[in-house]
């Protein structure tokens, strides 16, 4: 693995509003799971989705990929274990990852829209920032990056 802890294969899984690197929203579950497994290793869990309507989740540590009726519907990349290393190490095309500051998100995505107290959206991505203040200060870290995730499950 190169310096920085990101394997070259995992680096190809870019967090995008249209999908995850080489896989696009709407793609069937089997090829998505196979492709992501070839890049990230075997899934670490198959947690219950918790949503009605045919949802299934596949987990690669801190990345949960969600399928609805057998098709890629969204994902959630988030810090599940505070103060521990995040795996796999992924980022957006602009370099935003978990732990990036809100200032970095605003710089990378100048057309952010506020979608909740601590949630901001741009380019189909939603960023969650951790803060005990409102509005979130520029130093607030990103704890979540997601797309179309069923909120009850995640």
Greater model confidence, 38 or 49:
38
Q: What pLDDT score was predicted for residue 129?
A: 93
Q: How many domains does the chain have?
A: 2
Give a yes or no: residue 83 inside a domain: no
What is the Cα–Cα distance from 150 to 153, expressed in whole angstroms? Answer: 6
In this prediction, residue 81 carries a pLDDT of 66
d(CA 149, CA 154): 7
Q: Which two tokens stand for residue 36?
A: 């992501």
Task: Verify that 54 and 99 share a domain, yes or no.
Answer: no
Range(s) of the domain holding residue 1 = 1-78
Is residue 153 included in any domain, yes or no? no
One domain, residues 5 and 71: yes
Q: What is the pLDDT of residues 3-48, one digit of tens each?
A: 344 566 776 899 999 999 999 999 999 999 999 999 999 999 999 8
- Choosing from 56, 78, 100, the residue where a domain stops is 78
Q: pTM here?
A: 0.89
Instruction: Tell me if 48 is assigned to some domain.
Output: yes
Does 7 share its domain with 72?
A: yes
Residues 25 and 4 reside in one and the same domain: yes
């Amino acid at each position: 693995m190169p310096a920085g802890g990101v394997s070259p294969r995992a680096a190809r899984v870019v967090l995008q509003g249209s999908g995850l690197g080489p896989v696009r929203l709407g793609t069937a579950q089997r090829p998505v799971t196979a492709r992501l497994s070839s890049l990230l290793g075997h899934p670490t869990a198959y947690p219950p989705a918790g949503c009605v309507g045919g949802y299934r989740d596949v987990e690669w540590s801190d990345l949960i990929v969600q399928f609805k009726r057998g098709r890629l519907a969204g994902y959630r990349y988030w810090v599940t274990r505070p103060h521990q290393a995040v795996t796999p190490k992924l980022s957006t095309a602009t370099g935003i990852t978990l732990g990036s500051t809100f200032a970095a998100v605003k710089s990378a995505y100048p057309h952010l829209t506020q979608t909740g107290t601590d949630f901001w959206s741009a380019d189909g991505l939603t960023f969650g920032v951790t803060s005990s203040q409102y509005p979130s200060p520029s130093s607030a870290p990103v704890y979540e990056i997601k797309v179309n995730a069923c909120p009850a499950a995640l």
